[in-house]
Amino acid sequence: MSQNEDLRIGVYVCHCGSNIASVIDPKAVAEFASALPDVVLTNNSLYTCSDAGQRQIQEDIKNHKLNRVVVAACSVRLHEPTFRACVAEAGLNPFLFEMANIREQDTWVHSHEPEGALEKAKDLVASAVAKSRFLTPLDMIKVPVTKTAMVIGGGVAGISSALDLADMGIKTYLVEKEPSIGGRMAQLNKTFPTMDCSI
Amino acid sequence: MVDAARHPNITVKSYTEVKRVEGFIGNFKVLVEEKPRYVNMDRCNGCGACSPVCPIEIPNEFEEGIAPRKAIYIPHAQAVPLRYVIDEEACIHCYKCVDACGKLDAIDFSQQPRQEWLDVGSILVATGFDNFDPSVIKEYGFGRYANVITAMELERINNSAGPTAGRIMRPSDSKFPNKISFIQCVGSRDERYNLYCSGFCCMYTIKNAVQWKQTYPDADITIFYMDIRTPSKGYEEFYRRAREMGIRFIQGRPSIITEDPKTGNLFIQAEDVGLGRTIELESEMVILSTAAIPRVDTDAMGSVLNISRSPDGFFMEYHPKLRPVDSPTDGVFLCGAAQSPKDIPASVAQGSAAASRAARILNADEWEIEPIVAMVWEDRCISAQGKKCGICATKCPYGAILVETGKAAMVTAAKCHGCGGCVAECPHNAITQKHFTDAQVISQLHALLRHEPEKKVLAFMCHWCSYGGADNAGTSHFEYPASQRGLRVMCSARMDSDFIFEAFRLGAGVVLVSGCHPQDCHYITGQRVGAERFEKLTKRLVDMGISPQRFRVEWISAAEGAKYAQVIREMDQTLRQIDPQALKEEIERTRPELERRVRRLPEIPDVALALELAKATS
Ligand SMILES: Cc1cc2nc3c(=O)[nH]c(=O)nc-3n(C[C@H](O)[C@H](O)[C@H](O)COP(=O)(O)OP(=O)(O)OC[C@H]3O[C@@H](n4cnc5c(N)ncnc54)[C@H](O)[C@@H]3O)c2cc1C
Ligand code: SF4
């Protein structure tokens, strides 16, 4: 656990082009982060999620023996999977990665309050760094897969998906609540764009 | 349709509904119920001897009520499966059909609803849409004026297999109408009903108008529209052709339709935007292009499947741009008009997209799921010491925790979805959630409140909804004060009372706990576990002397960015209205009691260290 470990945290503050950098100075955030305990490296890049940005993280993990990575950029809902995969490729457990959302939840909503946005970015980074100290490596849980699909709704969308799945060799239940499949399309006369009959 | 029924890998379960879904990606168990057809599917050969003898006649839904059907019927001539069915509500049990069926002996009134559990690895939701009922727009007289019909009714009248055998006639007098008008955006793009564009009605109206004009070149056809939407391949060209054929397009939404009761003809009043004045037009028949709306049972299906709705009411995708056919629940996908109104080409494309997303999982030998699950500290669990407890198990929506007195509670990791409700509810702090441990959350709290905490709006957010709502505020650039500090956990169920006590102990100005609306909760009942706790907590905080306006609970969906921004604005405003000196005094006054509340926190592994580190850094 963390108390026995020599922590080496790397913090990456992204510009996201001008999305972040037009409101706050990412360098100031990085400078702030460099003063936090156990942070051994900070970095700014134009786009941390770019190939070059990710490669930099991977090289730093190797060269600077980083064992925690914090990226301050966009939403976890967007790029957490990207960066987890990035650190994993460099041999770091993906759950030793943490993210601070300084775009959607900071510069994009506080563009008229740049000073407040900067203070907030620092706090968000401090929070991510603080959490990162207590992160532990985790392994994905592997579950078996039942190789059968269920499609609910037998309209044209459901029928198309069921046929595709079935052609891929997957057993598929097509569940339709009416006595017949077909959905609305079955009611139509001729259909655009081809003007042929619908069924 | 026939291809699907014939495919060796497809089992069509018609007249069947989904009742319950359990399990998780790769391992769903689905309870389905087949309604009784009262006709034996193996014996019925679709000969049709039964239907003519049935004395009952009720409106035929497939024909939009224009034609009747019997109580024993097939939905339409191309039905798949082509087997008769008895409409239980309409049937009077005269048994004439039994006699007509004779030796085939296919009619079986002893049938009961049949339930079965099916094991599947992935679920695709393709439940489609409903048509808006235009009778609520009183000005158009649908339901009162015989010759005002819907576009779907026209599809049936204009169909060689339809009730008029394709002979076009208007309802009032069965005469052929030569002068007809179409009205677009009925129930769509209208603040009173639905804001969205239904997408395909411009094209189907043009289709129907072109077809009509081709068959009857003398016909006088007018289309009243707001804007014509033809964005897909070849559609604009099709629209051009309609104009070239002499179909009249008038931009303007009709305000009222009146009827001449003698002729049954209709008078449409509309503002003609092109002419810049009001016009009146007589028509022998008016066809309403009604909006595509969410299915009536969308809410019920949503809660069975644990998926939520967008503000327009259709099922919500995981991400509108990057994961358009994924639902927020792993292993459940969306396609077709269930996700938003779309035409056939788009529905087919999404069907294929959803199939390939599902096949990724179904063709894998095993699937990896996130290890963000609950874990018991056996030495802290009082059940292990022989005391009766089991609170954790009662809070788990998935039945993932097994408690036997004498043994520590046991979590089945593959069943745990990681809401964290058990963790927050355990009175002995004997469970933690991996990746959202107490030490981690408390470290974050201290960092976020390290500087002028009394000026901060501390916002706990759940990953799926309120954090998504905050993101949505961001992508929409809805500004709110920078005094907000957000802390994300997976579900409102994880927001431990201790976290809130600790936030106030640290001097937070105001505290927000925010999560999904109950019907949107990604952990079935996780939100409810949180909501019950917050209700008690609200009272307790007041008892402790904390001003009620300093604590707020809000349910905010991932689509409600405007609401998120508004809530933060209001909370910031509230905070500014409190006299700073009074606030300071309140914080000092309540601190001893808050300290008492959180005194046992340091017993939790790593928390003491987290507190020590926080002190050193501040
Ligand atoms: C008047 C009109 C004319 C149109 N003309 C055209 C045209 O010319 N060209 C074109 O491209 N598009 C046209 N469309 C659009 C077309 O109808 C849709 O694109 C298409 O029907 C969408 O298919 P779907 O499978 O998503 O939904 P649906 O067709 O609605 O099918 C959904 C199916 O799911 C079933 N279902 C629903 N709920 C459940 C449940 N809980 N359990 C099990 N089953 C369930 C339903 O019974 C139905 O069979 C027209 C639409 C209208 C209204
Ligand atoms: S497709 Fe055309 S008629 Fe339908 S809602 Fe959109 S603009 Fe209106």
Residues B487-529: pLDDT tens digits? 999 999 999 999 999 999 999 999 999 999 987 788 878 999 9
**Cβ count near B295 (within 10 Å):** 18
In a mutational test of the pocket of ligand 1, which residue from B154, B185, B200 has the highest number of ligand atoms less than 8 Å from its CB? B200
Average pLDDT in the B528-539 region? 97
Confidence band for B146, pLDDT divided at 50, 70 and 90: very high
Helix (H) or strand (E) holding B305: helix B298-305
Mean pLDDT of chain A: 95
Domain annotation covers residue B483:
yes
Same domain? B445 vs B420: no
Same domain? B7 vs B41: yes
Ligand 2 pocket: which residues have CB below 6 Å?
B 184-185, 188-189, 197-199, 201-202, 226-227, 229, 289
Final residue before a domain boundary, out of B434, B457, B486: B434
Same domain? B594 vs B472: yes
Interface check B300 vs A, CB under 8 A: no
Query: Residue B472 is encoded by which pair of tokens?
Result: 């949505």
Same domain? B104 vs B200: no
| CATH (domain of B185) | 3.50.50.60
| CATH (domain of B419) | 3.30.70.20
Q: Distance (Å, rounded) from C-alpha A5 to C-alpha B190?
A: 61
**Cα-Cα-Cα-Cα dihedral of B209, B215, B217, B222, to 10°?**
-20
Q: Distance (Å, rounded) from C-alpha B225 to C-alpha B354?
A: 34
Lowest mean pLDDT of A101-115, A145-159, B325-339, name the range.
B325-339
Q: Are A99 and A79 in contact (CB under 8 A)?
A: yes
B491 or B323: whose pLDDT is higher?
B491
Nearest CA in chain B to A124: B448
Q: What is the ipTM of this complex?
A: 0.84
Final residue before a domain boundary, out of B106, B127, B148: B127
Left (φ > 0), alpha (ψ -120 to 50) or beta: where does B5 sit? alpha
The alpha-carbon gap from B508 to the nearest alpha carbon of chain A, in Å, equals 14
Confidence band for A2, pLDDT divided at 50, 70 and 90: very low
pTM of the model: 0.80
Same domain? B476 vs B613: yes
**How many percent of chain A have pLDDT more than 70?**
97
Report the residue of B86, B232, B323, B347 to disrupt the A interface, i.e. the one with the largest count of A CBs within 10 Å: B347
Whether the predicted pLDDT of A1 surpasses 60: no
**Residue B203 to residues A157, B33, B235, B241, Cα–Cα distance (Å):** 19, 37, 7, 12
Domain annotation covers residue B247:
yes
Same domain? B500 vs B590: yes
Same domain? B418 vs B446: no
Same domain? B44 vs B137: no
> Nearest-CA neighbor of B280 among B304, B254, B251?
B254
Domain annotation covers residue B321:
no
In a mutational test of the pocket of ligand 2, which residue from B131, B184, B223, B249 has the highest number of ligand atoms less than 8 Å from its CB? B184
Same domain? B413 vs B441: no
Q: Report the number of distinct structural domains present in chain B.
A: 4
Among protein residues, the one whose CA lies closest to atom 2 of ligand 2: B202
Q: Are A145 and B121 in contact (CB under 8 A)?
A: yes
Q: What share of chain B is helix, strand, coil (3-state, %, to 5)?
A: 35, 25, 45
Domain annotation covers residue B347:
no
Q: Please give the residue range of the domain that contains residue B54.
A: 2-127
Same domain? B36 vs B12: yes
Residues of chain A found within 8 Å of residue B512, distances taken between Cβ atoms: none
Q: Distance (Å, rounded) from C-alpha B421 to C-alpha B405?
A: 21
Domain annotation covers residue B458:
yes
Same domain? B237 vs B374: no
Domain annotation covers residue B83:
yes
Domain annotation covers residue B354:
no
Q: Are B457 and B578 in contact (CB under 8 A)?
A: no
Q: Are B140 and B254 in contact (CB under 8 A)?
A: yes
Average pLDDT in the B547-567 region? 96
Write b or e for each residue in B478-490: b if 16 or more Cβ atoms lie within 10 A of its Cβ, otherwise e: bbbbbbbbbbbbb
Q: Distance (Å, rounded) from C-alpha B339 to C-alpha B292?
A: 11
**Residue B571 to residues A13, B509, B576, Cα–Cα distance (Å):** 29, 9, 9
Domain annotation covers residue B503:
yes
Same domain? B152 vs B283: yes
Final residue before a domain boundary, out of B293, B321, B342: B293
Residues recorded for chain B:
618
